[in-house]
Structure 1
Amino acid sequence: MNMNMDWYRIFWHTAKLGNLTRAAQELHITQPSVSYAIKQLEAQLEVKLFDRLSKGVKLTSEGMEVFKYVEKSFTTLQSGEDRLQKLKELSAGELRIGASGPIIKHFVLPLLDTYHAEYPEVRIRLSQGKTSDIRERLKTGQIDVGIVHFPFADHELTVQHLANIQDCFVVGHAYQHLSQKPLTAHELSNLPLLLLSEGSSTRKYVDQWFSSQGIQADADMELSSMDMLIELAGRGYGAAFVTQSFVKQELAEGKLFQLHTKEPISPRAVGFAARRDSTLSIAATRFTELLQ
């Protein structure tokens, strides 16, 4: 049986108002159109839905049974439309993003503060992980947007460049004297090295930098938190490989000192990734606009 939603909508309004003319006025159609739709619906259902009265209509017992279900259906549809309107206005919805810890603290959080202040009713789901973890969460639909380090390529995902970042080695007062002249990779490798754990994009990058100069560098301390690397470097435990902008304040205040290298450390890029075959939610789209 084919369902004609217009017939049911006209039936619903007529049943509520008990009058064909008033239903026509509310629906902005003619009274004959209302009468025709009800007749067609009665023919399709093979039951009489209304008794015609001198001053209107009233539901038959079968019509009342149909009305109960139609009322539920249209109430549900109205709730759906109301929910959609809230999503469009960003007075509801969900933003699911993923990034590494350092990127979250120094890059994502300032933007999230702006976003949350403007759209406080949008629920923010933030997950931390390595770039490889973010890739998998994107592909399995666990998050909408991932902030990732380049190089990053996957045929299932799209990636847009956001910013370039510069990495560097920093030390505390115990090794301050080494900041006076450029150091070779070999000289750096002889220092206690404080590096992010293996598998992270930052660790892979510094390992490649050493390797390009024929050095196999070993980490004295491996941590999953760049904040902890910064803390330990400041306490004199060695040289930490960190993103320069993340230690801007410590460098300015003289709590940390940047070590200069004879072989330059090239800038890296950060971007945001999303699934190629999926349309971003309105909430996620607004966040990517802030990112850009």
Structure 2
Amino acid sequence: MDQNLSLYKVFYTVANTGNISKAAAELYISQPAISKSIRKLEQNLEVTLFSRNSRGVHLTEEGEVLYDYVQKAFYSLQLGEMQLKKINELGIGHLRIGVSTTLCKYVLLDYLKDFIAAHPHIRITIECQSTNHTLQLLKENKIDLGLIGKPERLHHIPFETLGEIEDIFVSTNSYLENLALRTDSKEDILRTAALMLMDKENITRQYIDDYLAFHHIENSNVLEVSAMDLLIEFTKIGLGVACVIRQFVEKELQEGTLVEIPLPAPIHKREIGFVHLADTQTNPVIQEFIDFCKKNA
């Protein structure tokens, strides 16, 4: 583009106002300067852009063609300015989140989808780790925010809840029927079944181990799995009884694909939510994301 951008700004303003004096007032320059800019642009383009009469100015046919393009260009510039303003208002525009693969799939993804649509300028990176690793990354300032199941001790780390989750044991009817034939016993299912649990580094496993120990439930046939997705799928094909989060298998329970195992006492519900160390005033996007998720929880 050979023309000075200021000439197009004058052209755009005159076209919108239809009056040189109004355009001069809007741009805070003199009327002669407006007229001079229009003449210069017309000379450079070798066309007449405005027809003039006593009531003001009107775009010529050539002026209409140019106006369509100039209008789109200035609209794009305005959008760019708005995006920059959002970035400035929300801090650096980058959010580093730590989360387990389970909570990422079943909880975080839905929030991210809507948040990114509303804030496309914010760059987001995800570290999929266990709760313990997420807390360690937070302490090392390698992430800004962690989505975790609330542990017993947080050592003064702020925790903002998103709600509760409930651990349950599930299986298929066919597995339970076969188990009854094999054991020929009325012993508790959790003691005789192939018991599928998350690995010992997972905070859910630690929570369930405490529950089993408290109720004196021992099982020597334990299969450890690193992801809840696999637990659910293994259970659906009849490998055993698994401990999963109720909210993540509601569809299977409703359809009857999985059935809930009765327990001697319900497992206490746990909170899930966000932890962060950074001052949200230093990086306002942290609090922006937390507030967005809590509002849509």
TM-score (norm 2): 0.63
**Residue aligning to 2:201:** 199
Instruction: Select the residue among 241, 250, 253 that pairs with 2:252.
Output: 250
Deviations 1:34-59 (A, max 9, x none): xxxxxxxxxxxxxxxxxxxxxxxxxx
Letter in 1 for 2:128: Q
Alignment of 1:1-292 (within 5 A): 85-89=85-89, 93-155=93-155, 157-177=157-177, 186-218=188-220, 220-275=222-277, 279=281, 281-292=283-294
Paired residues of 1:139 and 1:156 also in contact (CA < 8 A): no
Structure 1 distance, partners of 2:156, 2:209, is 28
Structure 2 distance, partners of 1:251, 1:280, is 44
Letter in 2 for 1:160: E
**Relative to structure 1, is the Cα distance of residues 165 and 135 closer, same or farther in structure 2, using a 3 angstrom cutoff?**
same
- Deviation for aligned residue 1:217: 3.4
Structure 1 distance, partners of 2:278, 2:187, is 40
Q: RMSD value over aligned CA atoms?
A: 3.0
Paired residues of 2:91 and 2:283 also in contact (CA < 8 A): no
Letter in 2 for 1:162: L
Q: Which runs of 5+ in 1 are unaligned?
A: 1-25, 27-80
Structure 1 distance, partners of 2:139, 2:95, is 16
Structure 1 distance, partners of 2:193, 2:227, is 20
Paired residues of 2:90 and 2:285 also in contact (CA < 8 A): yes
Structure 1 distance, partners of 2:92, 2:243, is 41
Deviations 1:64-115 (A, max 9, x none): xxxxxxxxxxxxxxxxx99974523559711111111111111111100110
Structure 2 distance, partners of 1:110, 1:95, is 16
SS at match of 2:217: coil
Paired residues of 1:91 and 1:119 also in contact (CA < 8 A): no
SS at match of 2:158: strand
**Relative to structure 1, is the Cα distance of residues 218 and 109 closer, same or farther in structure 2, using a 3 angstrom cutoff?**
farther
Letter in 1 for 2:243: F
Structure 1 distance, partners of 2:92, 2:214, is 50
Structure 2 distance, partners of 1:290, 1:176, is 43
**Relative to structure 1, is the Cα distance of residues 82 and 289 closer, same or farther in structure 2, using a 3 angstrom cutoff?**
closer
- Deviation for aligned residue 1:259: 1.0
Paired residues of 2:146 and 2:276 also in contact (CA < 8 A): yes
Paired residues of 1:163 and 1:271 also in contact (CA < 8 A): yes
**Relative to structure 1, is the Cα distance of residues 106 and 82 closer, same or farther in structure 2, using a 3 angstrom cutoff?**
closer
Number of paired residues? 210
Structure 2 distance, partners of 1:236, 1:222, is 16
**Relative to structure 1, is the Cα distance of residues 251 and 91 closer, same or farther in structure 2, using a 3 angstrom cutoff?**
same
Letter in 1 for 2:100: S
Structure 2 distance, partners of 1:141, 1:92, is 15
Paired residues of 2:190 and 2:217 also in contact (CA < 8 A): no
**Relative to structure 1, is the Cα distance of residues 248 and 156 closer, same or farther in structure 2, using a 3 angstrom cutoff?**
same
**Relative to structure 1, is the Cα distance of residues 109 and 219 closer, same or farther in structure 2, using a 3 angstrom cutoff?**
farther
- Deviation for aligned residue 1:219: 5.3
**Residue aligning to 1:47:** none
Structure 1 distance, partners of 2:130, 2:279, is 23
**Relative to structure 1, is the Cα distance of residues 283 and 264 closer, same or farther in structure 2, using a 3 angstrom cutoff?**
same
**Relative to structure 1, is the Cα distance of residues 135 and 282 closer, same or farther in structure 2, using a 3 angstrom cutoff?**
same
SS at match of 1:202: helix
Letter in 2 for 1:107: V
